[in-house]
Amino acid sequence: MRRKESRPSELLDAALDLFIERGFNATRLNDVAQRAGVSKGTLYLYFANKEELFKSVIRKGMVPYLQRAEQLIDEYRGSSRDLIKQIIRGWWDSIGATRLGGIPKLVVAESGNFPELAKFYLEEVIHRGQGIFARALQRGIDSGEFRKMDVNYALRIVIAPVVLLLIWKHSLQPYERKALKVERYLETHLEILFDGIRSTEKKQ
Amino acid sequence: MRRKESRPSELLDAALDLFIERGFNATRLNDVAQRAGVSKGTLYLYFANKEELFKSVIRKGMVPYLQRAEQLIDEYRGSSRDLIKQIIRGWWDSIGATRLGGIPKLVVAESGNFPELAKFYLEEVIHRGQGIFARALQRGIDSGEFRKMDVNYALRIVIAPVVLLLIWKHSLQPYERKALKVERYLETHLEILFDGIRSTEKKQ
Amino acid sequence: MRRKESRPSELLDAALDLFIERGFNATRLNDVAQRAGVSKGTLYLYFANKEELFKSVIRKGMVPYLQRAEQLIDEYRGSSRDLIKQIIRGWWDSIGATRLGGIPKLVVAESGNFPELAKFYLEEVIHRGQGIFARALQRGIDSGEFRKMDVNYALRIVIAPVVLLLIWKHSLQPYERKALKVERYLETHLEILFDGIRSTEKKQ
Amino acid sequence: MRRKESRPSELLDAALDLFIERGFNATRLNDVAQRAGVSKGTLYLYFANKEELFKSVIRKGMVPYLQRAEQLIDEYRGSSRDLIKQIIRGWWDSIGATRLGGIPKLVVAESGNFPELAKFYLEEVIHRGQGIFARALQRGIDSGEFRKMDVNYALRIVIAPVVLLLIWKHSLQPYERKALKVERYLETHLEILFDGIRSTEKKQ
DNA sequence: TATGAATGAGGATTCATTCAT
DNA sequence: TATGAATGAATCCTCATTCAT
């Protein structure tokens, strides 16, 4: 079969599965090739080496969502509270609940071995994601919905439980007896959060 | 000739350093041995294989702190708010700011490859740590300091920012331009948290 | 679309360049194809495999000169000394100073891996070349110009410095600080040679 | 078996055999190890990689002879003609007729792939060897035995037939029907040579 | 004829583990 | 106990060759 265009995507798909399932080191290129239904050599037609394949997997996985989130925030008309809720829920639905949710853990695990990847991820994903939350928080402060705060630190507190949930799900959760109820987890987080950052100025 | 009793401890120390610095796979037993000042063969007198060494490193690292935290909570007499603050600050000071802080990231990264380790860590460290926060939160609810809530989920929200901070510090932080101010980060977290979970019943 | 007749020649040209530049093993068929402006597959339309291509390159390179040298000796009317001079100078000008000069080194280097090529080269090039010098020397002996000698050995002494010069030029010379003056080298060789083989019978 | 000291030498011996027999590329490290009676991994205890092994083989092979030749020339008391004869005959006996005789061809064949080796060989072997002949020739000129000549070029003519003989023996000779009589070859060379360079000044 | 995507055998290299000393 | 030389399984990567189009 000969299909140059669709190949890379198929290879990345197979690679994503295996990298998430086994990590970088334990993933055999042979297995990636087999899962994609091609031979080992074919991988090398599209990716210079294992490392480049890995980086491509990460790149392809995260960027699309960020674009959608940035668009949402540009167009949103409701309360900032609802905006943040929606971003987080959307995040979970399109990343967290899918295979892509394994990427953050993967990046964390391999950051030491791939400085270049770490930098790329930091700038193209983390900083960009932080920017989204910074804007959402600032929007709420400006509107009087949220109290004044150091946005750069507050945003980390907003994000942390969700990121850790992702990491958890792809590391220790599988060994846990009872499943975590994601819905309730996020709800608890958002409740505490919005109570914790609501504006107190005009409240009685 | 060194005392044989201290030998395993020296090996674990050297191994901890390297596992944290390079991860499990990239750590060469040769280097561990060298750093401990012994030969490669000697490692095998004390640990059956690399995997056992790794598990021992993790075991030794985390348990002592938990004991202290459990003791603190038994004896504490002040407000629950202060108790939680103290646990978190103590956690940071005795774990987060030391080499041991690298362990959570390490466990997360290798959990897929070491199911047994994952289970051990889950039960001996995570569950035990969660228990500490569960008790502290319940204490506050019982005393009317905190509002009623699902303690099992709330405790995760309490812990998440601190754990993620640890993971961050040992993964992507090193590639970040400007350092994160831990003090302010924790402060922001605690402020939002205590505002978010304070009891509203009797407040004016 | 190019004329099909010239295609093989273009391929051989490209191959010669690369074989001489990099040797047999280090020459990538991909590069040969690219340099000839065709695709890799096309090579296989004209040559069964890399080895056949290699042999064709060698064949094509050396044979034409030999024909000219044989013709020269048939027709020559001057002294044998001048004849030999002319053969050697012609050899250098039409082979040594061109890309073809790299062939002897190539054959020497790969002879162990290509017995068939070695045999071909031995018979079609070496023996034929030796025949030329044998005739030239015998001609001089017969005419009383040169002293009697074992022509089969003497011819090797005549040839050796020139062949080694070729090999040298394509192996270690490139790493040498100062260039060798070919003109003077050949001159020195011929001077010693003709003094060494001149007839002494009727002198003074 | 454990014998750190003698190991490298055994490995180099095995490697020399195979490199000469098959060339660099076609030599399998596996075979080298087997011939030396060790495992593949053991090779890497003593040589960083195949290239280093190759260079070590060359280094070890040639240097010892040069030292002996230099010593000979320092101490020699007879005629320059006999000195040169003795050097060449010694060269053949201790290098040419042994396994070591394959090294020049090897170096020539691989020079393009190993610039570093080429430079090393050029300086440590070729230049040093040329120096020996330069001194011997100059000695003869000074004593009036040889006529005046450009020593730097003449020495190459002296050496060429011997070097080419070595290369020949290890490349195309094996495919030749009848063996070359080395003795007569060298004799022929020396005869022509000494006749060609003898002093004519006072000779009657 | 011509293409170039796909193949897969083959080999260098690494390193956890063993074991004779 | 301690050593460190020796092992060899395991895997990434290359590239000549094939063949569907």
Q: What is the mean pLDDT of residues B33-47?
A: 95
**Chain D CB contacts of C156 below 8 Å:** 161, 185, 188
Range in A114-128, B54-68, B88-102, C161-175 the model is least confident about: B54-68
Give the Cβ contact number of residue A146 at 10 Å: 23
Integer Cα distance of A94 and A86 in angstroms: 12
Q: With 80 as the cut, is the pLDDT of residue A25 above it?
A: yes
Q: Do A176 and B111 touch (CB under 8 A)?
A: no
Distance, Å, C45 CA → E2 C1': 9
Q: With 80 as the cut, is the pLDDT of residue B203 above it?
A: no
Chain B 23-42, residues with CB within 8 Å of chain A CB atoms:
23, 25-26
Integer Cα distance of D20 and C112 in angstroms: 9
Q: With 50 as the cut, is the pLDDT of residue B107 above it?
A: yes
pLDDT the model gives residue D203: 42
What confidence tens digit (pLDDT) does each residue in D183-193 have?
A: 999 999 999 99
Please name the member of B108, B157, B176 whose beta carbon is closest to the beta carbon of A161.
Answer: B157
What confidence tens digit (pLDDT) does each residue in C5-38 have?
A: 677 899 999 999 999 999 998 999 999 999 999 9
Closest nucleotide (CA of B29 to C1')?
E16
- What's the number of CA atoms in the CB half-sphere (13 Å) around residue D125? 23
Task: Kindly report the backbone phi and psi dihedral angles of residue D5, in degrees, each rounded to the nearest multiple of 5, phi listed first.
Answer: -65, -45
Q: With 90 as the cut, is the pLDDT of residue D167 above it?
A: yes
Give chain A's end-to-end CA distance (angstroms, integer).
71
DSSP character at residue D96: I
Q: Which chains touch C (3 or more CB pairs under 8 A)?
A: D
Question: Which of D159, D195, D20, D179 minimizes the C-alpha distance to C164?
Answer: D159
**Chain C CB contacts of D141 below 8 Å:** none
pLDDT the model gives residue A61: 84
CB B161 within 8 Å of CB B133: no
Q: What is the mean pLDDT of residues B133-137?
A: 96
Q: What is the pTM of this model?
A: 0.87
pLDDT the model gives residue D1: 54
What confidence tens digit (pLDDT) does each residue in C73-119 have?
A: 999 999 999 999 999 999 999 899 999 999 999 999 999 988 988 99
pLDDT the model gives residue B5: 63
Please name the member of B26, B122, B184 whose beta carbon is closest to the beta carbon of A175.
Answer: B122
Task: Please count the residue pairs, one from chain A and one from chain B, whose beta carbons lie less than 8 angstroms apart.
Answer: 140
What confidence tens digit (pLDDT) does each residue in D140-162 have?
A: 999 999 999 999 999 999 999 99
pLDDT the model gives residue A158: 97
CB C133 within 8 Å of CB C155: yes
Tokens 């391929």, located at residue? C11
**Tokens of residue C21, six digits:** 């530049």
Q: How confident is the model at residue A2 (pLDDT cuts 50, 70, 90)?
A: low
pLDDT the model gives residue C126: 95
Q: Do B26 and A197 touch (CB under 8 A)?
A: no
Integer Cα distance of B50 and D23 in angstroms: 40
Question: Which of A35, A31, A156, A16 minimizes the C-alpha distance to A98?
Answer: A16
Q: With 70 as the cut, is the pLDDT of residue A88 above it?
A: yes
- DSSP per residue, D101-129: GGHHHHHHHHTTT-HHHHHHHIIIIIHHH
- DSSP per residue, A132-191: HHHHHHHHHHHTTSB----HHHHHHHHHHHHHHHHHHHTTTGGG-SSPP-HHHHHHHHHH
**Tokens of residue B137, six digits:** 């939160």
Q: With 80 as the cut, is the pLDDT of residue A200 above it?
A: no
Is the Cβ atom of B194 within 7 Å of strand E at any atom? no
Is the four-CA dihedral D139, D145, D151, D153 of positive or negative sign?
negative
CB C130 within 8 Å of CB C138: no
Of all protein residues, which has its CA closest to the C1' atom of E11?
A: D28
* Burial state string for A161-175 with b = 16 or more CB within 10 A and e = fewer than 16: bbbbbbbbbbbbbeb
Q: Which chains touch D (3 or more CB pairs under 8 A)?
A: C
Give the Cβ contact number of residue C125 at 10 Å: 21
Closest nucleotide (CA of D48 to C1')?
E13
C/B touch flag: 3 or more CB pairs below 8 Å: no
Q: With 60 as the cut, is the pLDDT of residue A182 above it?
A: yes
Q: Which of residues 10-69 of C touch strand E (CB under 7 A)?
A: 38-42, 44-45
Chain B 104-123, residues with CB within 8 Å of chain A CB atoms:
105, 107-113, 115, 118-119, 121-122
Nearest CA in chain C to D26: C113
Q: With 90 as the cut, is the pLDDT of residue B2 above it?
A: no
Q: What is the mean pLDDT of residues C116-124?
A: 91
Range in A152-161, A186-195, C182-191, D56-65 the model is least confident about: D56-65
What confidence tens digit (pLDDT) does each residue in D122-142 have?
A: 999 999 999 999 999 999 999
Tokens 């002093």, located at residue? D199
Please name the member of D111, D189, D197 whose beta carbon is closest to the beta carbon of C171.
Answer: D111
Q: Which nucleotides of F are covered by protein (CB under 7 A)?
A: 1-21
pLDDT the model gives residue C2: 46
**Tokens of residue A101, six digits:** 């949710």
Nearest CA in chain B to A147: B192
Please name the member of D157, D172, D184 whose beta carbon is closest to the beta carbon of C126.
Answer: D172
What is the average pLDDT value for chain A, to the nearest integer? 91
**Tokens of residue A37, six digits:** 């239904």
The alpha-carbon gap from B9 to the nearest alpha carbon of chain A, in Å, equals: 26
Looking at per-residue confidence, does B51 or A2 come out higher? B51
What confidence tens digit (pLDDT) does each residue in A110-145 have?
A: 999 889 889 999 999 999 999 999 999 999 999 999
What confidence tens digit (pLDDT) does each residue in C35-77 have?
A: 999 999 999 999 999 999 999 999 888 777 888 889 999 999 9
pLDDT the model gives residue B8: 84
Nearest CA in chain B to A103: B109
Integer Cα distance of D115 and C167 in angstroms: 16
Range in B63-72, C119-128, D20-29, D152-161 the model is least confident about: B63-72
Q: How confident is the model at residue C1 (pLDDT cuts 50, 70, 90)?
A: very low
Chain A 163-182, residues with CB within 8 Å of chain B CB atoms:
163-165, 167, 171-172, 174-176, 181
Q: How confident is the model at residue A155 (pLDDT cuts 50, 70, 90)?
A: very high
